[in-house]
Structure 1
Amino acid sequence: MKILVKCLQGGSTLLDVSESSTVSELKKLVQKNMRIPVFQQTLILFGKCLQDEKCISDYPQIKDGTKLYVAIKNPDFFNTTLHKFLRKYYHEAQCKVIVEEFMKNFHSKVNSLSLDDLERIAKSEIESAASGL
């Protein structure tokens, strides 16, 4: 089946995949065609993040011609900033453990959000910033 993958920052690619392909395999094709590293990809279908270990067949909404979106994430920036902040209060080894646990929890929570949830958060932040001006 053919799946269109569009990048939220621009660009797209048409991929030929089977229902038995995993999301992880799909991400490798996106990396090859769009030059977006797998670790920076989040594939999105109807506002929900696809899980790497699942097969395409685990998502009955994915059919021939389905459009997926790929969001590009930059996890190092947040990790680095958090680590620098924590170094003021903790030893290096403690910082590493805290950041790893925080990021694991953070990713779990973010992956459970829909695009509608993210849009509401963004609008709330924009309105809050505008009222503070």
Structure 2
Amino acid sequence: MQITIKVLKGSDCTLEVAPTSTILEVKQQIETELQISAANQKLLLLGRPLNNEQTIASYPNIKEGTKLNLVVMKPCLRDSIQRGFRKHYPEQQAERLTNEFMTDFEKKLNEQSLDDLERFADSIVSRATT
């Protein structure tokens, strides 16, 4: 059956899905079609999020021609860092480097005082306004 994916603040795409397809499989199709990571997708039907493990058939309101809304969530810092490492390193090494980076980043962030953070924020704001 064909369903339409409506990207909020974006375009539509039509997918061919089977009743036995899981929502995660649909998200993977969307990733291939629209280059939006499945991890950053939230599919909604009638305003309610769909569960990755459920099949299309488990949602009786999904039938031929149904429109699902896709909300694209911003990736977290960790995902962005790991995606960068994956471009240059094998998966296991990228995971290890990401973990080391995040540990070091959180340690250094915790060492900062509120005054340090305020100065940092002020410098960013002043650069943005010039």
- The answer to whether TM tops 0.5 is yes
Instruction: Name the counterpart of 1:72.
Output: 72
Q: In the alignment, residue 17 of structure 1 is paired with which amino acid?
A: V
Q: Runs of at least 4 residues of structure 1 off by over 6 A?
A: none
- Gaps of at least 5 residues in structure 1 are 90-133
Q: CA deviation at 1:34?
A: 1.0
Instruction: Name the counterpart of 2:46.
Output: 46
Assess if the C-alpha contact under 8 Å between 1:12 and 1:34 holds in 2.
no
Q: CA deviation at 1:77?
A: 5.0
Assess if the C-alpha contact under 8 Å between 1:3 and 1:66 holds in 2.
yes
Q: For the residues of structure 2 that align with 1:35 and 1:88, how far apart are their CA atoms?
A: 35
2:110 is the alignment partner of 1:88 = yes
Instruction: Name the counterpart of 1:102.
Output: none
- Gaps of at least 5 residues in structure 2 are 80-104, 112-130
2:37 is the alignment partner of 1:37 = yes
Q: CA deviation at 1:78?
A: 9.9
Assess if the C-alpha contact under 8 Å between 1:31 and 1:37 holds in 2.
yes
Q: In the alignment, residue 5 of structure 1 is paired with which amino acid?
A: I
Q: For the residues of structure 1 that align with 2:48 and 2:78, how far apart are their CA atoms?
A: 22
Q: Once superposed, what is the RMSD of the aligned Cα atoms?
A: 2.4
Give the secondary-structure state (helix, strand or coil) at the position aligned to 1:10: coil
Q: TM-score w.r.t. structure 1 length?
A: 0.58
Q: For the residues of structure 2 that align with 1:77 and 1:18, how far apart are their CA atoms?
A: 34
Q: Equivalent pairs: percent with the same residue?
A: 33
2:26 is the alignment partner of 1:26 = yes
